[in-house]
Structure 1
């Protein structure tokens, strides 16, 4: 082989060695993906560098993210910025506006999150809760006098209304005894009274006549009922009875008039008429729209407080999230094939240039070797 051929041959061989060596070095960053064994012994350089050091890489990336990228100081600074506050307010406005336009009923909204028959369950809960509370209240104060259980204002109001009650009773009595039915009833009462008196009653009835006696008694009864003293007398009687009643303990009143059963029945009838169903039949938008204007005015203040609270609790939140472990877990689960594809897609040209550079350096070294071979 002549001098020129030797020179060219060594340059080509050096270039090939340099290019192939660099190419294999790049490939060995990722491949092989798994370790290979011969006779139970692991083949050197298997797996590739990155698969072999995946655990260390994942740990280092997790520490880098926590300590240098997603730091609490950086996140707090971002949350405290005017841009984030403005975006939060705009988001809140959009959410409130969308909620106010919603045609979904409250029952449908609750059913969407797994709460069926909300109105029925709410009524059952209220009934059960009021029964328990009322029963507990009555049991606790059963030995207390009624005057201590009834609010003083209610007692005063009732005392004030007693004259009106007596006037109403007397007016109804006057109206009744002035009617034909009342007069007939009064005649029957007089007739029964005279019959009970035996011969004397018969003689009075014979001499005066029943109708004549009724005509004489009726005006006197009406005069008595219309008298102011009668009204005051009835008011005093009602007041005295009311004062006595207030001294009764709840237990005594219950024994006389079955007061507890009466209260529970009244409560049951009230709850039967009072149902929460209309609340659940209205749309969520109708409720939100009631507060939309006030909510829009307070959104900047509310979002500011929420962001401040987020900043104050950010350290604890990040500790609970354990971002370092999350990053490590994601890196551990990330396929090496995909990582290789990503790196090569980004640095494909640079890797080619490294391969070419290896060939160039190999060619230069080959030329230098050729010179030494020819000279020596």
Structure 2
């Protein structure tokens, strides 16, 4: 082993590299230490010692701002986040997360919607349900009142009318129901006849027609068809022989004979009065009692002759002609001259009397029987064994032109019924009932309602929708988050020692190699210095 004296020449050569290595290591270590120390400014009196505080404490705000800028503007950008969201690993994780959440939810035995909502929000839920129901009803009514629906309804009504009218009449009125229908029609007719309002309306209508007819100068002939007038005239003429026979028999009646004698005596006396001065003389010869006796004797003696006189064909012809002329004059006379209605009370009385008589005639038992037989025969005729279409039957009853108007009115009635207030209220009730059932009906387990394939497709759709939503909203989210400010404020809020520990934990390994590199660099410089010294000594 060499002594110090013997090893001194070697130490001379080792000292420069070793000292250089030590100085390099120490310099870098001090430099690194000065990044964090001192924490505060050092002063000697009023003089501030340079390099205090350390770089990190003195520049912490600038450091925080730079780190925030780096993270917010260059690292966590919206593009980087969007790209990360579309990566397969994230998509798989999101798919698994959605599937697990959906599967967990679908296995729950859910109650009604109202029970699912937390009690705190049920009031708002009820308001939302009512608002939604109101909006649905308004939109539904608006849609139903539109032109498109109106055209659809008209076509549907027309199709329904065609279907009903094209069906066999026996489908509408079966043969075994025709008698019942006839009875019901008669009952309805009789009820209408018994209704006091019917008599009042009929009397009022008759009064109006009488006033209108008489005001226009109408005659009885205008009220009767020509064939009816001819029938009445012929009937009166046919009764002429009977009238003449009745007149002859009346002359045989003592009371009638006495009145006839009285009339003849009065006529003779009136004639005598016209003779002037000779009237007294004639009265002396023609006593009233004498005239009475002679006339009665004459009538008794000529009774057969008088009967023959009334049965004479010539007399019959003249009487027939006279009766015809008289009837023609009556029929041709204005109705106002015949009735001579001058007061409203009289007109009302006549109108009410006509209405009562007419309704009484309709209410008669024989009229009911005749009406029933007529309706039964009419049904049998128009139904034609049940093989005829309903439309053809109605057309036979009311005519071709009224049948077309009937179809139009029926279509308008059907379409109008759809737009009636009752239909509107009915639609409102349906919407309210459906809303109530939807809210209160238990949902149960969704996996019993939704097939697995549909659930899988639903999860995939939810993942795609979530991804699209996140990607579309990332720029706005990043901007609203202001990551730069968050990082800056967070770093700026750290305690200096905490910040030092954080940086050292990140860069401790790097700092160690920096120190070693400083030692290596000092060693190399020391070797270079040694070579320079050796060269200079030679």
Q: What corresponds to 1:368 in structure 2? A: none
Query: Which residue of the other structure, out of 157, 160, 164, is the alignment partner of 1:161?
Result: 164
Q: What corresponds to 1:91 in structure 2? A: 97
Instruction: Give the C-alpha shift of residue 338 in structure 1.
Output: 3.1
Instruction: Give the C-alpha shift of residue 163 in structure 1.
Output: 5.0
Q: What corresponds to 2:132 in structure 1? A: 125
Matched ranges for 1:275-294 at <5 A: 275-279=435-439, 281-283=441-443, 285-286=445-446, 289-290=449-450, 292-294=452-454
* Superposed CA offset, 1:41-66 (max 9, x none): 98866655323212221122123334
Distance 1:239 1:177, change over 3 A: same
Instruction: Give the C-alpha shift of residue 319 in structure 1.
Output: 4.7
TM-score by length of 2: 0.44
* Superposed CA offset, 1:83-141 (max 9, x none): 33332322222122122123344334444794635255323432255237636975x87
* Superposed CA offset, 1:247-297 (max 9, x none): 79x9xx7xxx99653443333343343324424643485389526522314
* Superposed CA offset, 1:130-156 (max 9, x none): 237636975x87xx9x97573524432
Q: What corresponds to 2:383 in structure 1? A: 228
For 1:190 and 1:63, the matched residues in 2 are separated by 101
Q: What corresponds to 1:274 in structure 2? A: 434
Distance 1:178 1:322, change over 3 A: same
* Superposed CA offset, 1:170-203 (max 9, x none): 4597364477x8777777789999994479949x
Distance 1:113 1:199, change over 3 A: closer
Greater mean alpha carbon deviation, residues 88-97 or residues 259-268: 259-268
For 1:327 and 1:174, the matched residues in 2 are separated by 95
Greater mean alpha carbon deviation, residues 326-335 or residues 234-243: 234-243
Query: Which residue of the other structure, out of 326, 330, 333, is the alignment partner of 2:486?
Result: 326
Q: What corresponds to 1:240 in structure 2? A: 405
Partner SS for 1:96: helix
Matched ranges for 1:278-357 at <5 A: 278-279=438-439, 281-283=441-443, 285-286=445-446, 289-290=449-450, 292-297=452-457, 299-300=459-460, 303=463, 307=467, 318-319=478-479, 321-343=481-503
Contact 2:73 2:484 (8 Å CA) reproduced: no
For 2:394 and 2:459, the matched residues in 1 are separated by 63
For 1:185 and 1:245, the matched residues in 2 are separated by 22
For 1:39 and 1:175, the matched residues in 2 are separated by 133
For 2:55 and 2:35, the matched residues in 1 are separated by 5
Query: Which sections of structure 1, spanning at least 5 residues, go unmatched?
Result: 1-19, 356-360, 362-376
For 1:199 and 1:344, the matched residues in 2 are separated by 120
Query: Which residue of the other structure, out of 117, 123, 128, is the alignment partner of 1:116?
Result: 123
Greater mean alpha carbon deviation, residues 34-43 or residues 238-247: 34-43
Distance 1:302 1:153, change over 3 A: same
Distance 1:294 1:153, change over 3 A: same
Q: What corresponds to 1:371 in structure 2? A: none
Q: What corresponds to 1:152 in structure 2? A: 155
User: Which structure has the greater CA radius of gyration?
Assistant: 2
For 1:199 and 1:277, the matched residues in 2 are separated by 56
Count of equivalent residues: 327
Query: Which sections of structure 2, spanning at least 5 residues, go unmatched?
Result: 1-25, 200-353, 516-521, 523-538
Q: What corresponds to 2:217 in structure 1? A: none
Partner SS for 1:282: coil
Instruction: Quote the RMSD (CA, aligned, Å).
Output: 5.8
Partner SS for 1:150: helix
